[in-house]
Amino acid sequence: MSGEVRAGSVKLTSDWMAVIRAREHVRPDAYLSDPCAAVFVTPASEAELDRVEAEGLPSQVVPIRGRLGDQTLLQSGVRQAVCLGSGTDTRAWRLPLGPAFTYYEVDLPGQLTGKREMLAAAGFPAGCDVRQAEADLRGDWTPALLDAGFSPAEPVHWIAEGLFYYLTRPEADTLLRAVTALSAPGSWLTFDGPDDGFLHDPAREGFLRGMRQRGAPFVGSFGDPVTWLAPYGWTGRAVLHRDLAAHPCPWLPAVPPHLLTPAQDVWFVQARRDQLTASPGAASGPA
């Protein structure tokens, strides 16, 4: 994340994501099932989401990245997952992961306060072992994760939804090196992020300016996320949201029309680490 990003603004964007997921859940053609999301919805968060959507927030990508993460997690066969910048993510409460599964949530100090209690009070007990690690993903966050019991010797599914929007390229490189160092062969990684063109589109200028003013600037983007991942030992595949309408993606369930319009210049990425490979050094990745 850049130094301009404010913790309160990060919490605000996470609240928006809960509203989007809650609204999607109640649709008759819902692409993502998240009955827990409504726990975090307030009139204020709904009103603010409506304002930022009118400015151009790419909210259509939220249920799609959520479905990709769900599908990957349930099909991967791993016994642990780490949600980076987890915010209002509710997978540990809504997916059938089982008591032997460990789900780690990593977010800024204070971001996860009361989350477990709110969900329990609403009748949503965790369906697996949930462990929370408070850390700034711009710094050395791995000790907090290891202290929570994470096992680098076991395959893991890393989930980074809505995160790379707020990381500069050097910050993203540093994060990926840390993730790779903790990933045993057979690990998975799913994430989304803007295409380079998103940040330079004149039609986005008003929206991007508004996000800067809110303290949550979009500073990260990808030219080719698969190429970026490769030197770190990850075999990836990626698709642009904009391309889904014309070319359905074989590794994503068919996306309904209401999530394809308007098209967005945002990537959905799924990757697997099949063998141990030395991560690149201090130099930035090639994408």
Would residue 281 count as lying in a domain? no
pTM: 0.93
On the CB side of 24, how many CA atoms lie within 13 Å of its CA?
A: 27
Is residue 181 included in any domain, yes or no?
yes
pLDDT in tens, 205-236: 999 999 999 999 999 999 999 999 999 999 99
CATH code assigned at 79: 3.40.50.150
Question: pLDDT digit string (tens) for 162-196?
Answer: 999 999 999 999 999 999 999 999 999 999 999 99
Domain that holds residue 180: 7-273
d(CA 229, CA 225): 6
pLDDT classification of 113: cutoffs 50, 70, 90? confident
Q: State mean pLDDT over 128-146.
A: 96
Structure tokens at 166: 């707020």
What's the number of domains the chain is made of? 1
Mean pLDDT value of segment 117-129: 97
pLDDT tens, position by position, 90-110: 999 999 999 999 999 999 998
What are the phi and psi torsion angles at 107 (to 5°)? -160, 170
Domain assignment of residue 2, yes or no: no
Evaluate whether residue 280 is within a structural domain.
Answer: no
> Tell me: the pLDDT tens digits for 46-93?
999 999 999 999 999 999 999 999 999 999 999 999 999 999 999 999
pLDDT of residue 285: 34
- 54 part of a folded domain: yes
Q: Is residue 151 part of a domain?
A: yes
Mean confidence (pLDDT) of the chain: 92
Q: In the sheet where 102-107 sits, what is the strand order?
A: 129-134, 102-107, 80-84, 157-160, 187-194, 266-273, 235-240
Residue 106 sits at φ, ψ, to 5 deg, of -120, 125
Residue 152: which residues within 8 A CB-CB, separation 6 or more? 146, 181, 182, 183, 184
| Alpha-carbon dihedral sign for residues 117, 123, 125, 131 | negative
Query: Is residue 66 in a domain?
Result: yes
Instruction: Give domain status of residue 1, yes or no.
Output: no
